[in-house]
């Protein structure tokens, strides 16, 4: 799967994370599609529960992913404390000379 089309959803509260993780992933995917912006909802292709208790949502296109990131009210289907985790990459800087 192309990482440029994936969104990681993190649930902040431990109790909410536990309750969400007890839900059926397929039903959560359906609920997410129903709450997502219409232009992106049909491009949501997968939802995976991670060992950390977070979720990865995969979109068919980068455009759909960007729409989901901009309008993130659909994350409340997971839990009231659910947020989109921004992926960061470490950068090394070395000065020469």
CATH of the structural domain 3-85, one choice from 3.40.1350, 3.30.2250, 3.30.70, 3.40.50 = 3.30.70
* pLDDT of amino acid 1: 55
To 5 degrees, how large is the angle CA 17–CA 10–CA 7? 135
Q: Which has more pLDDT, 61 or 96?
A: 61
Each domain of the chain, given as residue ranges in start order, spans 3-85
As a whole number of angstroms, the distance between CA 97 and CA 38 comes to: 54
Q: Are 5 and 69 in contact (CB under 8 A)?
A: no
H helix or E strand, kind and range, residue 51: none
Is the pLDDT at 68 greater than 80? The verdict is: yes
| 5-52 per-position pLDDT tens digit | 999 999 998 999 999 999 999 999 999 999 999 999 999 999 999 999
To 5 degrees, how large is the angle CA 64–CA 70–CA 71? 90
Q: Are 10 and 82 in contact (CB under 8 A)?
A: yes
Confidence class of residue 92 from pLDDT cuts 50, 70 and 90? confident
Q: Which has more pLDDT, 40 or 94?
A: 40
């Amino acid at each position: 799967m192309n990482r440029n089309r994936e969104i990681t959803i993190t649930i902040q509260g431990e109790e909410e994370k536990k309750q969400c993780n007890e839900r059926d992933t397929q039903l959560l995917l359906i609920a997410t599609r129903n709450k997502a912006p219409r232009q992106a909802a049909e491009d949501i292709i997968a939802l995976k529960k991670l060992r950390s208790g977070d979720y990865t949502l995969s979109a068919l296109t980068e455009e759909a992913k960007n729409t989901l990131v901009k309008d993130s009210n659909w994350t409340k289907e997971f839990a009231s404390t659910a947020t989109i985790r921004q992926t960061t990459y470490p950068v090394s800087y070395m000065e020469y000379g």
